[in-house]
Structure 1
Amino acid sequence: MLNINEDTITQAVLASMDDRCDARLRTIITSLVQNLHSFARDVQLTEAEWFKAIQFLTEAGQITDDKRQEFILLSDTLGLSMLVMAQNNKKPTECTEATVFGPFYVEGAPEYENGADIANGARGEPCFVSGQVRGLGGTPVSNAQIDVWQSDEDGYYDVQRPSEGSAVVSHQARGSLRSGPDGRFHFRSILAEAYPIPHDGPVGRMLEALGRHPWRPAHLHFMIKAPGYDTLITHVFRDGDRYLNSDAVFGVRSTLITDWVQHDAGLAPDGSKMEKPFYTVNYDFILNPAEVSA
């Protein structure tokens, strides 16, 4: 490996890998090295630009913690998250489309019965959410686990708002419930509002330098799991939002856009009396059957 130059460095790196390494790892690293080196040659990358990129990645790691994942934001804003998701979620057209997971999912969210108020004090106008989980043939999927999470009216998720005077997060506008025997579910939360992704770090500076905004259109996150079906990770977007055509993370699909209907004060879907206007949204999810291993 003596006298390596810019023309021979790529093959030297590839030849350095032991033949006994994992075959899939070898495939991935081979392509990664080839494409990285091609990129550097294509743009004639300077040392100053290379060092600035190293600083950028270092800062992304330094700002990342258990409440913020800057590398997911980077992947999302470069379209990589949606590309990987699309490659791995090819389904019949009748199925509900998947979209990005996002950085604000939390394991072990509070469990609720159908009809519960999962807002738990989150700021926002009241909204009643309902729908049905079905299989491809229209069969209701009972006892499906439905995880839902969203931001408040100020654009913050609960994990971004530690309880006052405490480092412990109080879960709001987040919960897990189960579909009924008929596949239906319903709960109360708050109106979905547009919000900016965290942009006070390196990813935000990148977006600003590119002349891009950090905003996401109003949406609810859903993750639905049921035996015999592929797990569905998706959003439901609020029709009419100004950012539907310029989502900072490229996650919008037209089939995931639906109406949020405003109602005057009066009787809510759950029979309660509302003293102020409220919203309702209904959306059905169609799951894809899981492949059965031979």
Structure 2
Amino acid sequence: MPQALSASDPSALLDAVLKTNKKTSNPRLKAVMDAAIRHLHAFALEVDLTPDELHVGLEFLVAVGHATGPTKHEGILLADILGLATLTQLRGARHAVAAGGTEPALVGPFWRANQPLRPSGATISSPGTPGARLTVTGRVTDLKGDSIAGARVETWQASPKGLYENQDPEQEDMNLRGRFETDEQGRFSFISVRPAGYPVPVDGPCGELLAAQGRHTMRPAHLHFIAVAPGYRVLATQFFDTEDPHAYDDVVFGAVGSLLRRFEPDGANGYRLHVELKLERGETRVPHCPLP
């Protein structure tokens, strides 16, 4: 006869829950759910989680869903501020990085689908966009340093006011965004303006969590890149301005050491940045684009 569960024996409850997962047909889902169940039960025991506290946590997750919309993905932001997104990015690329590949960074919640295709050397900033001129040159290669021609490179950034164009009604649609194709030497280039750091959105439950933790909300100034080439793993990364006051104190833990760069002075009112995007051979899986 099956035995009744006892409050004095939480291991029996854990075993009962794990037993319900045994028929899961997808082996990866089964492994992930087994681990999630074990860690959730261990977490609840470690902190002696009360029913009221569980309710607060569940309501927080519901609020994360309600706060997600066409201009913001609160779930991505939650994974970012907890360091979970950076952890998975770095773990997934550890072999490529050890072989000399470019370190990854967060895709983040502001990448948009259908960013405009522009010719190499074009300006991605709309007329009237304030800020110092920034000339960006780049090259896409494999881990051995051989050029990858015809790679797709997407870039996006915040304005000198610290806002992406979809957050700011004063900016033109698709301002400070572009999509490029590398030449035979794997090169691309564009003209922009020097970005500014900015606070992550705090108008939702993630903002309330940051406030409760007594944390600042700032990201250091950076440019996003995604490089896509057939036969290579997709690289999503960012390059950060070392002169930003939060260059070593990123609220989402994305500013890893190799991605910190000095924007070199270039003339009276300009700067220059060169980036190398080194890709690992493998399956080409483009990440989900969070915004239309």
State the TM-score, normalized to the length of structure 1.
Answer: 0.88
Tell me the distance in 1 between the aligned counterparts of 2:53 and 2:23.
34
Asked if 1:98 corresponds to 2:104, the answer is yes
Tell me the distance in 2 between the aligned counterparts of 1:264 and 1:106.
32
User: What is the CA deviation profile of residues 84-141 of structure 1, one whole-angstrom value per residue up to 9, with x for unaligned ones?
Assistant: 1122112134211111111111111111001111112444322111122222222222
Tell me the distance in 2 between the aligned counterparts of 1:172 and 1:123.
12
Asked if the contact 2:264–2:271 (Cα under 8 Å) also holds between the matched residues in 1, the reply is yes
Which residue does the alignment assign to 2:142? 135
Asked if 1:148 corresponds to 2:155, the answer is yes
- Pick which of 88-97 and 109-118 moved more: 88-97
Asked if 1:287 corresponds to 2:279, the answer is yes
Tell me which amino acid in the other structure corresponds to 1:3: A
Q: CA deviation at 1:39?
A: 0.5
Tell me the distance in 2 between the aligned counterparts of 1:281 and 1:17.
51
> Which of 201, 204, 210 is equivalent to 2:207?
204
Asked if 1:161 corresponds to 2:168, the answer is yes
Distance 1:93 1:208, change over 3 A: farther
Which residue does the alignment assign to 1:80? 84
> Which of 242, 245, 248 is equivalent to 2:248?
245
Tell me the distance in 2 between the aligned counterparts of 1:105 and 1:263.
28
Asked if the contact 1:258–1:283 (Cα under 8 Å) also holds between the matched residues in 2, the reply is no
Tell me the distance in 1 between the aligned counterparts of 2:33 and 2:164.
36
Asked if the contact 1:163–1:170 (Cα under 8 Å) also holds between the matched residues in 2, the reply is no
Which residue does the alignment assign to 1:256? 259
Tell me the distance in 2 between the aligned counterparts of 1:28 and 1:177.
37
- Pick which of 201-210 and 116-125 moved more: 116-125
Which residue does the alignment assign to 2:230? 227
Q: CA deviation at 1:264?
A: 3.8
**Structure 1 unaligned regions, length at least 5:** 266-276
RMSD value, Cα: 2.0
Asked if 1:15 corresponds to 2:19, the answer is yes
Which residue does the alignment assign to 2:4? 3
Tell me the distance in 1 between the aligned counterparts of 2:74 and 2:130.
25
Q: Which SS does the other structure have where 2:72 is aligned? A: coil
Distance 1:229 1:18, change over 3 A: closer
Tell me the distance in 1 between the aligned counterparts of 2:267 and 2:101.
34
- Pick which of 13-22 and 280-289 moved more: 13-22
Tell me the distance in 1 between the aligned counterparts of 2:78 and 2:132.
31
Which residue does the alignment assign to 1:29? 33
Which residue does the alignment assign to 1:117? 123
Asked if the contact 1:217–1:244 (Cα under 8 Å) also holds between the matched residues in 2, the reply is yes
Tell me the distance in 2 between the aligned counterparts of 1:155 and 1:249.
16
**Structure 2 unaligned regions, length at least 5:** 285-292
Tell me which amino acid in the other structure corresponds to 2:259: L
Tell me which amino acid in the other structure corresponds to 1:125: A
Q: CA deviation at 1:162?
A: 4.5
> Which of 51, 68, 72 is equivalent to 1:68?
72
Q: Which SS does the other structure have where 1:283 is aligned? A: strand
Tell me which amino acid in the other structure corresponds to 1:145: R
Q: Which SS does the other structure have where 1:113 is aligned? A: coil
Count residues with an aligned counterpart. Answer: 277
Distance 1:111 1:96, change over 3 A: same
- Pick which of 3-12 and 48-57 moved more: 3-12
Which residue does the alignment assign to 1:171? 174
Distance 1:188 1:36, change over 3 A: same
Identity %: 33
Tell me the distance in 2 between the aligned counterparts of 1:2 and 1:58.
35
Tell me the distance in 1 between the aligned counterparts of 2:52 and 2:6.
20
